[in-house]
Amino acid sequence: MSSTGPDFGPPPPRRGRRRALTAALAALVPAALLGRLVFDAAGGGGGSGSGGAAARPSPSGARPSEPPAGSPAGDGAKPSPTPSAAAGGPLRGRVVVVDPGHNPGNFRRTSEIGRQVDIGTNRKECDTTGTATNAGYAEAEFTLDVARRMRALLEEQGATVTFTQDGDRPWGPCVDERARIGNRARADAAVSLHADGAGAGQRGFHVILPGAVDEGDADTGPIVGPSRRLGERVAGSFARVTGSAPSDYAGGGSGLVTRKDLGGLNLSTVPKVFVECGNMRDSKDAALFTSGAWRQKAAQGISEGIVSFLRG
């Protein structure tokens, strides 16, 4: 903060020195502008606590506007760094696919998301609307908010982050397409974000790992091992950063569950896990989901697990 103003300025120069002063100012202005550009490129233009900052554009075009600060989905959101700020990070050259579960518009397109798609072991509906807290905070809004926070954190480490959807489409994509997005990106790691809809009184998070499947278009054999390592890293860091306990209703207290009925895992050819961040139907877990500070911790915990996995 500057304290200078009209009452603190230097005395006016004498006429004989005007030409020298003009030349000096002409040299200083480009330097000042250059300094400002460097400051902005390094992310200095936005404070770490700015909740409603506009997201910078991705390589494929402008990102959708994020909710303003103060709303459940936008409280405490942070903008992504520019590519120049992350160019030398430890994850430079690594690709992470983040899959925000469901889509806020799915409930308007029930016929589209209800159609059957092939998931390798059988056919299953394209997608669902997801769950919500008793107060109406939707899983799809939660996952999108945490995903955007993760993008900022991972890009700070130099990773290239690809979303399966960013609130930029009216519904979907279907579960098989979500898997193919990660495959096409040749992701080094892929994480699908979710929140559970179990009974009230059941609490905690769990990470879902792909089981061994070799049917139809599904062959998870090559990714079962690395996906387990990814899941173990994510579960450990999520518990440490958020303070949340592993699920008391799934995984036997380990925080890890293996499944063979999820198309997003069955059809993946890259290491991938699902993270169920807690139970939206439990009042205590729901209070966490609607806290911007906790969602930031969730994003940090998952991101740190990904970083740990990628760095070996």
What is the CATH classification number for the domain harbouring 232? 3.40.630.40
Query: Is 75 part of any domain?
Result: no
CA distance linking residue 255 with residue 231, whole number of Å: 9
pLDDT value at residue 88? 73
- Partners of 61 in the β-ladder: 58
Contacts of 105 (CB under 8 A, 6+ apart): 169, 170, 171
CA distance linking residue 268 with residue 227, whole number of Å: 10
pLDDT value at residue 62? 38
Structure tokens given for 46: 């936005």
Query: Is 48 part of any domain?
Result: no
pLDDT value at residue 87? 58
Note whether 72 and 290 are within 8 A (CB). Answer: yes
Task: For residue 20, give Cα distances in angstroms to 12, 14, 179, 250, 289.
Answer: 13, 11, 66, 76, 62
Query: Is 4 part of any domain?
Result: no
- Where helices occur in the chain by DSSP H, the ranges are 18-41, 83-86, 110-114, 139-156, 175-184, 221-242, 263-266, 283-289, 292-311
CA distance linking residue 96 with residue 82, whole number of Å: 17
pLDDT value at residue 295? 98
pLDDT value at residue 72? 57
pTM of the model: 0.75
Domain count, the chain: 1
Contacts of 306 (CB under 8 A, 6+ apart): 96, 154, 189, 191, 230, 233, 234
- Pairing between β-strand 206-210 and β-strand 272-279 as defined by DSSP bridges: antiparallel
Domain limits for position 189: 95-311
CA distance linking residue 52 with residue 63, whole number of Å: 14
Query: Is 46 part of any domain?
Result: no
pLDDT value at residue 75? 52
Query: Is 278 part of any domain?
Result: yes
CA distance linking residue 299 with residue 149, whole number of Å: 6
The stretches in the chain having pLDDT less than 70 are 1-87
Query: Is 267 part of any domain?
Result: yes
The residue type found at 175 is V
Q: What is the per-residue pLDDT across 25-84, written as a single tens digit (0 to 9) for each? A: 344 434 433 333 333 333 333 333 333 333 333 333 335 444 433 345 445 444 444 343
Query: Is 291 part of any domain?
Result: yes
pLDDT value at residue 99? 98
Which secondary-structure segment (H or E) carries 96? strand 95-100
* DSSP 3-state of 205: strand
Query: Is 61 part of any domain?
Result: no
